Structure 1
């Protein structure tokens, strides 16, 4: 998998001066467009579109400083429809406009070419299972929240604190299938998983029971799920599990992500500093 991802990176480099289709990159990587966006952002730490933008502006900066072509010619080469649009993007990355950079020979930022490599650190074996599950319903309360990559998600924390204990107790009684108990469900995530993009967050249960008044439902079709477990300090252990799933498990196993909600079941220690966690991700066979 990593070899094919690196071939897709080479394809990006060869086509920075023309339109790059994500569908074509996914074909080179021998996976789906959805999974390619997801695994790229997880491994690279930025969305695919941001990496392409920064690589184009890195090459454009070298041509601006070389001074052999007009700024408009360079702008058009790298996909900008006007000198003004190019200047805005250039300034956003380099902190200076292209005209001023050419006049002063200023030092500019650079986005290095990426290559993905698998590093085996031997910390622990990843515990997982693959489950075929029929269609089910998430019943609970919903909020629109930003995606946070590291540290606590304050929007989610504030939302959950506002749920009455009796409401949680009522919901927990409805849980009648895996994953059991109160779960956190994220749906409608941006495929590139860009920081601060919004998603639908559900705090509720998996059930076949009718939803009580005042709650929201999410219907989930049948499919295959990869289920990962971890234990450790919160939120670090859970965020490290997300990282390891995309950096280690997907490149080493014949599955890819598919569209669908992501489900996290967490059981906190009495001190609320440690947790046992179970992460359910929708998957499909890589070449199924």
Structure 2
């Protein structure tokens, strides 16, 4: 089997994992999605992704838990631990501390704006964070969004290297004679919590139906549902501080809680594809009511 086919099959698994990180994700089911035996799946996943599948899922769930601890003050640590796939608070606390170097309770008690945000290690983004007008938050439009079928190219790392994923997707669209106007970016990591080099980003292009012929470019469905939509503009470097500010300021005061499906942006001007690196986009944050 070619490396391209292996990547395509593992991408199907990654798409399933990140559709909702709180799903039950047994390895046998993931192996079935990849059409591998379970033993072969474990080997191939590690070969393609660079870490074992259980380690990958555990890390993604702990990142989700870190967000929930910050932005869902009504959920107990036990509720968040259970939702993140842990059977006890003690095992959750040990795992959480191994990554974030403090207990879940300490993490929750520390102010979000005072945390050492990994993206502030980037001088350009840090300068944009200092310029950000923290006196007001952009207004939110609360709407139900549809499921979206997209073709995509996955990328690890948040930086200008994302341009490569978009160039691959653009070349594919030209070869396949596809409309390239509806562009989306899936943000599967919170760069205020996750190191930029480890952030998961997915460059996406709207399509009518799932792809039957896949390779470097695959297809997935972005989950719909209730979202808070924010219109944002700026230049490369400005976006991550804007997203952080929405999560830190708007979300806790909104009366909504963040869902476990990934947030995404819809581009009207894509900073990774323009010479001036300017962006115009909608930031779509999945939310639900406290019940």
Q: Structure 2 length as normaliser, TM-score?
A: 0.50
More helix per residue: 1 or 2? Answer: 2
Bigger radius of gyration among the two:
1
